[in-house]
Amino acid sequence: LDLIDQGIDLAIRLGQLEDSSFIARKLSDRRLYVCASEDYLAQYGTPYALSELTHHSCLIGTHDHWRFKEHQQSRSIKVSGRIRCSSGMVLLDAALKGMGLAQLPDYY
């Protein structure tokens, strides 16, 4: 969306600001968590390292790369799974039903 061409004066966006001509104010932090149901973890085990994610069924949102901070370094891990959905609420519901791991923001 081109804010200037659309005549928009104010926008709230998540993520990194790519265009340096915009004036931005940080409103809040958000943290991402990898979530799973107790049933899923009992059946498939709990991953303790990022490399173990490739052995799990991941519930994929809009991106098939999950972002992490490891030793103060940003990391991106490609995940795969049988479910892909752009709705965080649907991914949360699927995780609660034991269908896989989901990476979701803290507000879910």
Q: How many CB atoms lie within 10 A of CB 22?
A: 11
With 90 as the cut, is the pLDDT of residue 29 above it?
A: no
pLDDT tens digits, residue range 62-82? 988 999 988 889 999 999 998
Q: Residue 56 belongs to what domain range?
A: 32-105
Rounded-to-integer distance, Cα 82 and Cα 75, Å: 23
- pTM flag (> 0.85): no
The answer to whether position 4 is within a domain reads: no
- Inter-residue contact 106 to 31 (CB < 8 Å): yes
**CATH of residue 60:** 3.40.190.10
The answer to whether position 18 is within a domain reads: no
Q: Give start and end residues of each alpha helix (H) in 25-87.
A: 38-44
Q: Which of 17-21, 41-45, 58-62 has the lowest mean pLDDT?
A: 17-21
Q: How many CB atoms lie within 10 A of CB 8?
A: 10
